[in-house]
Amino acid sequence: MGDFLNQPTLYVFKLVSMETIQALGTGTFQATLSGDNHELYDKAAAVLGDNVLLNSKVVDVDRCGEYPEIVVQTPAGLKYIQAKKLFLAIPPKLENFLGFALDVTEISLFGQLLNTGYYTTIINNTGLLDNIEIGNFGADTPYNVPFVPGPYFVEASDISGLFNVKYCSSIPVSDETAKANIIAAVQRLKTAGTRIRLRRSSYCFIATYHSR
């Protein structure tokens, strides 16, 4: 959510629903019983068969006629599609509509939409102990909410030496920028200005970051 204290309450509730809170609290935040969330896409691809175009990009869309006409660049070359309906399940940002020939009204509408940057990573060589979690609590923010850009937490995984990191920025950044900032944040855990308290009973680190 980025700076979620300045977000409309409705947006926060849409993201953090009661179902999400319950799933996180019980450790059942999985889409499949097997625990492999990619299984959903594999089974959908099996049903759709050759109608799925992977590693492809829309290069032109004609929406003037009765049926939309789409040209897609695929690894095997250009593919022409005439569809009964065109349904989009992508973030409605202008950069995602290249080739769609938006009109003035559409450009004005979609140009107003903003989003934060949210990144999930796996890191190693941290020097941290296994079975710990480091939470980001702002030292000089209201209610000690995490200061962004920065990680929400650094959490040990089930594999020794590997840690799961959730990183947020108020605006989208490149993958390389997110990686560099995550590494810098982990390094700051050992520098002045960062307070770490270890609760031995639960193996939880609480790290406090200053906004400057």
Domain boundaries along the sequence of the chain: 56-110, 115-209
DSSP string, 160-209: TT-EEEEEEESS---HHHHHHHHHHHHHHTTSTT-EEEEETTTTEEEEEE
Flag whether pLDDT at 102 surpasses 70: yes
Query: Is residue 37 pLDDT above 80, yes or no?
Result: no
Q: Is the pTM of this model over 0.85?
A: no
Predicted confidence at residue 30, as pLDDT, reads: 63
Share of the chain above pLDDT 70, in %: 86
Q: Which of 33-42, 98-107, 134-143, 184-193 has the lowest mean pLDDT?
A: 184-193
Percentage of residues in the chain having pLDDT higher than 90? 25
Indicate if the pLDDT at residue 28 is higher than 80: no
Tens digit of pLDDT for each residue in 119-149?
999 988 887 778 778 888 877 888 888 878 8
As a whole number, mean pLDDT of residues 36-64 equals 89
Read off φ and ψ for residue 29, nearest 5 degrees: -85, 65
pLDDT score for 194:
46
More confident residue, 188 or 117: 117
Say which residue the tokens 């003035």 belong to: 104
pLDDT of residue 157 exceeding 70: yes
Rounded to the nearest integer, the mean pLDDT of the chain is 81
At 47 the pLDDT is 94
Banded pLDDT at 31 (limits 50, 70, 90): low
Q: Determine which of 22-26, 29-33, 35-39, 124-128 has the lowest per-residue pLDDT on average.
A: 29-33
pLDDT reading at 206 higher than 50? no
List strands edge to edge, sheet with 77-82: 57-62, 69-74, 77-82
Pairwise CA distance, residues 68 & 87, whole Å: 10
Span 86-96, pLDDT tens digits: 888 888 889 88
Q: Tell me, what amino acid is at 63?
A: R
CA distance 72 to 78: 6
Give the pLDDT mean for 40-61. Answer: 90
Closest CA to 134 of 65, 54, 197: 197
